[in-house]
Amino acid sequence: MPLIQVNQASQHSPEQKRRLIEALTDTYARTTGADAAKVWVIINEVSRESWGTGGIPLADRDKG
């Protein structure tokens, strides 16, 4: 079974995550011919305090 993993900073609603899972599954199945029912998607969420770019945590970037 194909497995798609998404690593993201947590800030998305359950509805956004549902739509992302659906879109990734549909795109993979359409592109490869795989059975959509056998495509797995995992969203790994990291707190914005634990994810940074340019030496600055995303939580700090959100503040200003």
> Is 63 a residue whose pLDDT tops 80?
yes
Q: How many domains are contained in the chain?
A: 1
| pLDDT tens column, 9-58 | 988 999 999 999 999 999 999 999 999 999 999 999 999 999 999 999 99
3-state class of 52 per DSSP? strand
Q: What is the CATH number of the domain that holds 47?
A: 3.30.429.10
Both tokens of 45, joined, read 């969420």
pLDDT the model gives residue 23: 98
Q: Where in the sequence is the domain holding 8, given as residue range(s)?
A: 3-63
Distance CA 37, CA 56 (A): 40
